[in-house]
Amino acid sequence: MEYKDYYKIMGVDRKATPEEIKRAYRKLARKYHPDVSKEKDAEAKFKELGEAYEVLKDSKKREAYDRIGQNWQEGQTFTPPPDWQREFGFGTGFAGGGQATGFSDFFEALFGGGFSPHREGAFYRGFQSQGEDQQVRILIDLEDAYHGASRTVALNTPELDAQGRIVSNRKTLNIKIPRGIQAGQRIRLTGQGMPGMQGGKNGDLYLEVEFNKHRYFQAKGKDVSIELPVTPWEAALGGSVPVPTLGGKVEVKIPRGSQSGTQLRLKGRGLPGETPGDQLVTLKIVTPPAPNEAAAALYKQMAELMPMNPRQNMGIDR
Amino acid sequence: MKKELLVVTGTVMDESVQFSLVELCECAKTTREQVFEMVEEGILEPEGASIHTWRFDTRALKRVQIAIRLQHDLGVNLPGSALVLDLLEEMETLRRQMRDF
Domain containing A233 equals 220-314
CATH value at residue A226: 2.60.260.20
Q: What is the mean pLDDT of chain B?
A: 89
The reported pLDDT for the residue numbered A88 is 66
Contact A30 B74 (CB under 8 A): yes
- pLDDT for residue A289: 95
Q: Do A176 and B62 touch (CB under 8 A)?
A: no
Q: Determine the pLDDT at residue A95.
A: 29
B74–chain A nearest CA distance, Å: 6
Pick from A30, A31, A36 the residue to mutate for testing the B interface (most B CBs within 10 Å).
A36
- pLDDT, residue A93, reads 36
Phi, psi of A132 (to 5 degrees): -80, 155
Give the pLDDT band (50/70/90) at residue B5: low
Burial class (CB in 10 A: 0-12, 13-18, 19+), A43: middle
Q: What total of structural domains would you count in chain A?
A: 1
Cβ atoms A172, A192 nearer than 8 A: no
**pLDDT attached to residue A307:** 92
How far, in Å, CA of A148 to CA of A272, rounded?
10
Q: Is the Cβ of B12 closer than 8 Å to some Cβ of chain A?
A: yes
C-beta contacts of A211-216 below 8 A and 24+ residues apart:
A211/A139, A211/A140, A211/A141, A211/A142, A211/A145, A211/A183, A212/A139, A212/A140, A212/A141, A212/A142, A213/B99, A213/B100, A214/A141, A214/A142, A216/A244
Instruction: Inspect the interface and report whether the beta carbons of B69 and A190 lie closer than 8 Å.
Output: no
pLDDT given at position A294 = 96
In terms of pLDDT, which residue wins out, B24 or A194? B24
Per the CB < 8 Å rule, is B7 touching A181? no
Q: Which residue of A has its CA nearest to B61?
A: A186
All residues at 6 or more sequence positions from B4 whose CB lies less than 8 Å from its CB, including other chains: A171, A172
Q: Are the beta carbons of B100 and A218 separated by less than 8 Å?
A: yes
Cβ distance A172 to B5 less than 8 Å, yes or no, reads yes
Helix (H, G, I), strand (E, B), or coil: what is residue A47? helix
Q: How far is A25 from chain B (nearest CA, A)?
A: 9
Which helix (H) or strand (E) is A138 found in, with range?
Answer: strand A134-140
Q: What is the pLDDT of residue B55?
A: 96
Q: Which residues of chain A carry a pLDDT beneath 70? A: 82, 84-102, 113-127, 158-161, 163-167
Query: Does residue B66 have a pLDDT over 60?
Result: yes
Sign of CA dihedral B19, B20, B25, B26: negative
Whether residue A40 is contained in a domain is answered as no
Q: Is residue A175 part of a domain?
A: no
Cβ atoms of A5 and A22 within 8 Å: the answer is no
- Which residue does chain A place closest to B63, by CA atoms? A35
Per domain, the residue ranges of chain B are 18-99
pLDDT (0 to 100) of residue A114:
45
Residue A119 CA: distances (Å) to CA of A39, A174, A284:
22, 28, 53
Q: In this structure, is residue A191 part of a structural domain?
A: no
CATH code of the domain occupying B18-99: 1.10.1660.10
Contacts with B94 (C-beta within 8 Å, 6 or more apart), sequence order: none
Reduce the secondary structure of A226-286 to three states and give it as a string: EEEEECHHHHHHCEEEEECCCCCCEEEEECCCCCCCCEEEECCCCCCCCCCCCEEEEEEEC
Asked whether residue A296 is assigned to any structural domain, the reply reads yes
